[in-house]
Amino acid sequence: MKELTELKLKVLDLLNEDARRSPLLLATLIGVEEEAVKEAIAELEADHVIVKYAAVVNWSKIEEETVTALIEVQITPERGRGFEGIAERIYLYPQVKSVYLMSGAYDLLVEVEGRNLREVANFVSEKLSPIDSVLSTKTNFILKKYKQDGIIFEDREEDNRLMVSP
Amino acid sequence: MIVNEDTKQQQVKSMNSYLAPLVRDIPPSGIRKFFDLANGSKDIITLGVGEPDFTTPWHVREACVYSLERGVTAYTSNAGMIELREAISQYLYDGFHVGYDPQNQIIVTVGGSEAIDLALRALIVPGDEILIPEPCYVSYSPITSIGGGVPVGIETYAKDDFKLTAEALEAQITPNSKVLILCYPSNPTGATMTYEDWLPIAKVVEKHDLIVISDEIYAELTYNQKHVSFASIPGMMDRTILVSGFSKAFAMTGWRMGYVCAHPDIIAAMLKIHQYTVMCAPVMGQVAALEALKNGMEEKDRMVESYNQRRRLIVQGFHDIGLECHEPQGAFYAFPSIVSTGLSSDEFAQRLLLEAKVAAVPGTAFGAGGEGFLRCSYATSVAQLTEALDRMGEFLNKLKRES
Ligand SMILES: Cc1ncc(COP(=O)(O)O)c(C=O)c1O
């Protein structure tokens, strides 16, 4: 893993809070030259430390409902490649949103999104389970998201400070 | 209820005559006036708030909830829970190199506010002069007056970064001078004092046998060097009443938790007032404060770092829109000069509020030397600060076009 400079860490923290902050704003907040921030970001992007700038969306706010399932998958690792090959076969499907290798009772945690229950169920029975080395799957549907990536969706804490105080 | 305006007037008048003149004659706070003005308006961005924009960290709130569930609801000892006093003692020693005995040198108070009141009441004999560097926090002078003391302002200046100088202090000393109130890092100027800055002050204090009330409530909020407690200056320990609290460092304003540390004789006197007026600080707050000291340092450091980022943003922003602003080294206030606009602080703040929808407090609310300045709290989100700076920039342009 790469040793990051203090500047890069600060840039990452601030972009993680709000990815739309400009290099100039970041430079002011951190107290360095804009050029240094631009350079840091360019390197972070080149090294794929910053993979992408995306919006965190609360999809449940809009009509178009989707369903998401977290699927626990047990597999037998392949000789010589471990879990990598199977993980790749799974994550290449566009409906798969994330894949994690886990310690504990199962091996992969696969997040799958579909338009409805049936679509996800079909994915599991037609694509996931038939893979040779997949021993078992257990599908858990997400009913409601309260917090994702450190962001609370329905944040009830409001600024109730007085407008002016000593 | 229907009240005839005339009888209402009459009533107010006659009721007023019952009041103690000392209290009746305290001028209304300049902040209050502004609060009323701002509170009625809509879409205001406020830089007028004297408190953190963070909610108290969850682990602190949770500790309080848990203690309530267990039924921790009784009085504590007058000076506060001994565990908390021990934690405060350790914290002050580790952070600021001052040693106070938790048994007889610390009282847990209802905010730093009560601590200031206790200290002044314990010390003032009517007629005593209380030296107060200004601009400063709004409570020192009124509390002094209520106690029968005479507040004596010592003006500090932007050219000195609002630091107190030995010459300015010396110039105000008379045979009646008894107490010096210090507040660094400063509300409203953000000024701090270094060890070297303190040494000549300590000399004057020694020479004129003064007692010092050092309000160090912003001690954790310094940005370029660590806070130096006045009590840590050689020879000043026994002369200093150290006031601090949890409001600013741990984002706990509403909990009303503060503390005061001093020589055992002074603490004993203050404890008498404290026990007869409030008995003890609220136990829920004490539990929370203990949790903050035990497990809250990481979160505190994160908050300080965040204030520092916003400090850079607001100072840069003022420079960009053409407002002169010395670099504040502590607290979460910037104190730009608005002299270049030709307006008084009051006019500027009022028009800024009405025409640009940005609330900030005119420097005059903080005493002598505040004219020509505006206190802007940067304890608000980066987005709000950016918007406020934009609005102020436009407002300044408009003023220029007018003239
Ligand atoms: C300089 C200073 N001292 C004391 C206080 C009082 O703080 P508390 O009573 O919340 O501890 C404040 C609050 O604004 C302050 O700015």
Segment B205-239, tens digit of pLDDT:
999 999 999 999 999 999 999 999 999 999 999 99
pLDDT of residue A57: 86
Does residue B195 sit within a domain? yes
CATH number at residue A105: 3.30.70.920
At residue A3, the pLDDT reads 67
Structural domains of chain B, count:
2
Among B260, B295, B330, which residue terminates a domain? B295
**Assigned domain for B4 exists:** no
Edge-to-edge strands of the sheet including B361-362? B333-334, B374-377, B361-362
* Percent of residues, chain B, with pLDDT higher than 90: 90
- Which of B277, B295, B313 is a domain's end point? B295
The helix/strand/coil state of B268 is helix
B382 touches chain A (CB under 8 A): yes
One domain for residues A64 and A19:
no
Q: Kindly state whether residues B111 and B101 are assigned to the same domain.
A: yes
- Are B202 and B234 a contacting pair, CB within 8 Å? yes
B312 to A164: CB separation less than 8 angstroms, yes or no: no
> Same domain, yes or no, for B274 and B367?
no
Q: What is the pLDDT of residue B9?
A: 58
Q: What pLDDT was estimated at residue B129?
A: 98
pLDDT at B175: 98
Domain span at B77: 58-295
pLDDT tens, position by position, A70-86: 999 999 988 888 899 99
Which residues have C-beta atoms less than 6 Å from ligand 1? A 166; B 50, 111-113, 137, 183, 187, 215, 217, 245, 247, 253, 258
Q: A70 and A28, same structural domain?
A: no
Does A141 lie in the same domain as A68?
Answer: yes
The total of structural domains in chain A comes to 2
Could you tell me if A98 and A74 lie in one domain?
A: yes
Q: Is the pLDDT of residue B12 over 60?
A: no
* Judgement on whether residues B269 and B152 belong to the same structural domain of the protein: yes
| Reported confidence tier of residue B274, pLDDT bands at 50, 70, 90 | very high
Checking if the pLDDT of A15 tops 90, the result is yes
Residue in B106, B169, B176, B172 with CA at minimum distance from that of residue B148: B176
Same domain, A63 and A141: yes
Mean pLDDT of B109-116: 98
Contact check, Cβ <8 Å, A28/B312: yes
Average pLDDT over residues B341-353: 95
User: Chain B: residue nearest A166 by CA?
Assistant: B50
B382 shares its domain with B336: yes
Please give the mean pLDDT across all residues of chain A: 92
Q: For residue A66, what pLDDT is reported?
A: 86
Q: How far is the CA of B21 from the centre of ligand 1 (A)?
A: 26
Asked if the structure places residue A150 within a domain, the reply is no
Residue A137 falls inside a structural domain:
yes
ipTM value > 0.85: no
Closest-lying ligand 1 atom to the alpha carbon of residue B113 = 9
CATH of the domain at B365: 3.90.1150.10
Chain A nearest C-alpha distance from B44 (Å): 9
Ligand 1 geometric centre to CA of B206 (Å): 27
The model's pLDDT over A106-122, given as tens digits with 9 standing for 90+, comes to 999 999 999 999 999 99
- Poorest-pLDDT segment among A26-30, B199-203, B399-403: B399-403
Check whether residue A40 and residue A98 sit in a common domain: no
Mutation to probe ligand 1, out of B108, B109, B116, B137 (largest number of atoms < 8 A from CB) = B137
Q: Is B194 a domain residue? A: yes
Same domain, A63 and A39: no
Q: Do A166 and B137 touch (CB under 8 A)?
A: yes
DSSP per position, A104-151: SS-SEEEEEEESSHHHHHHIIIIIITTSTTEEEEEEEE----SEETTE
- Cα nearest neighbour of B57 on chain A: A157
- Same domain? For A72 and A108 the reply is yes
Residue type, A160: N
The string of pLDDT tens digits covering residues B357-383 is 999 999 999 998 999 999 999 999 999
CATH code: domain of residue A10? 1.10.10
B165 with B304, same domain: the answer is: no
Considering only CB atoms, A162 lies closest to which of B35, B139, B382, namely B35
pLDDT at B8 (0 to 100): 57
Asked if residue B169 and residue B103 are part of one domain, the reply reads yes
B329-353: average pLDDT: 96
Give pLDDT, residue B32. Answer: 79
Which of B278, B295, B312 delimits the end of a domain?
A: B295
Confidence category of residue B289, pLDDT binned at 50, 70, 90: very high
Q: Give me the CATH number covering residue B170.
A: 3.40.640.10
Using the Cβ of A116 and the Cβ atoms of chain B, whether some distance falls under 8 Å is answered with no
Whether A164 and B48 lie within 8 Å, measured CB to CB: yes
Considering only CA atoms, which of B224, B249, B199 is closest in space to residue B92? B249
Same domain, B287 and B312: no
Residue at B66 is within a domain: yes
Residue A7 has pLDDT above 60, yes or no: yes
Range of the domain at A27: 6-46
Question: A18 vs chain B: nearest CA distance in angstroms?
Answer: 10
Name the residue in chain A with its Cα closest to that of B139. Answer: A166
Residue B11 banded pLDDT, cuts 50, 70, 90: low
The H helix count followed by the E strand count for chain B is 14, 12
Q: Please check whether residues A63 and A138 belong to one and the same domain.
A: yes
Measured from the Cα of B183, ligand 1's closest atom is 1
A11 within domain boundaries: yes
Please check the confidence at residue B6 and state whether its pLDDT lies above 60.
no
| B385: Cβ contacts below 8 Å, ≥ 6 apart | B47, B310, B313, B314, B317, B378
Backbone angles phi, psi at B219, to 5 degrees: -50, -35
pLDDT over threshold 90, residue B203:
yes
pLDDT score at A58:
86
Q: What is the 3-state secondary structure (H, E, C) of A55-116?
A: CCCCHHHCCCCCEEEEEEEEECCECCCECHHHHHHHHCCCCEEEEEECCCCCCEEEEEEECC
Query: Residue B148 pLDDT more than 80?
Result: yes
Nearest CA in chain A to B29: A166
Query: Is A32 touching B (CB cutoff 8 A)?
Result: no
Are both B290 and B240 inside the same structural domain? Answer: yes
Domain annotation covers residue B248 = yes
Size of interface A-B (CB pairs under 8 A): 58
Picking from A44-53, A80-89, B243-252, which range would have the lowest pLDDT averaged per residue? A80-89
Question: In this structure, are A66 and A22 located in the same domain?
Answer: no
Residue A121 burial (10 A CB sphere; 0-12, 13-18, 19+): middle
pLDDT value of residue B291: 98
Choose among B46, B55, B386: nearest Cβ to A164. Answer: B46
pLDDT digits (tens, 9 = 90+) for B63-90: 999 999 999 999 999 999 999 999 999 9
